A and B are shown apart, each in its own frame.
Chain A
């Protein structure tokens, strides 16, 4: 039942004459590639990234520009996604909003998964007071309604850089992963190779970094991927309600909120374009996350052993 660790397979590799990319990474990649949905997600996400960062080249409007002549215009060659009632170019706004949402999503996932891994392993490995404090903090943050708390604290990040949202959202999204990581670490801690390392006098943090983290890496990777999507949704949720990113900055949430005013009018495309972009991003991220889970899990039914 035990998954071969990265260290196991790599040490065997030089002895056996095997073709390139036959390590664990190669195996995971082959299994991932066989999953059609996962590949669609990966290609889709790469295309969305390119769209977000190369899209501004397709238009000469900037997100703050106002075209007074063409307010509420339909999708035209000049305004690909149309304009709102003020005359903002919705294409420029959507693309700019995508950039911010993607950056926030990646950074939040990095921060929250990283700290969840750190806290979870530390709690389980050190035990004692460490564990008591971390478990209590985890419980507390689970009881605190995170979205309400983010709204309450929103006046704090008003008028500062939009990047403040990254630590704020991460602060309220590490708990569940941390719990799972702690549970897994508790069993790994008692395994022979960890004990051997401990009795040989290897420092605790080195054991965590070398032996424990690689053994829980699959859950961390999957969790990171799914957290990207969750963070983008949280950010857009806040911005949609007006508590996240505010004018003059735009994010997908603010653009969708602007568009939503028009959802019940003839200008419904102002809502549909940015909303579809958000749905596509989350869809791709979820496809990748599920594909990675199947590819990394040695017991998964979806993928065969090779």
Chain B
């Protein structure tokens, strides 16, 4: 890795805004993310954490602000310096979107496909790999999330934890620049949470760039390189997890942590 890639952020978010009708959900979010970093977003429900993730890869169209991935504006480009903003076409946007892996709260696996087909369909149909290449890659990624034995099962035959790991493998198979996790363990039975967190911890250690929205505070504290606390559509506080957990500066952060840590 050369000095330049270390210093330039992989992802830059500037003044990201989103409104649904009159309701302003995001009121100007800005942050940078370095390659290899794991950032965890915490905050009360309704604070806009999930909306941040969904705006990054344009599952929701942001109402304002900019998302830059690797120096490229996501969802459109500016012509010249200070020139007009030109929205991206559907094809271009799809191309950019696949650089963000996305792991959904409710897995959203394709029920008509087996685990290996779920993972292989992206490489096959989007990246244009041959069937054999795509399946080899899918097997490799399923191995990585310890599901080699369940390759040919359909989602309905898998537990929630296994389904979520297939979903992670599906994201990995597209070789994304970073992966966005939207409350990946919130829909799981308590005893299945750990297997998913373990996979995510492993990915973080391997240097995958990740943004994780979660209510798992132990995970946040142990795995995050950086923690962001959000409330009411703003970033309230940002810093090293240890600092925020032991000495939160803002009153909102203090109240939130008091609630979630002393349940």
A, B from the same assembly = no
B interface with A by C-beta (< 8 Å): none
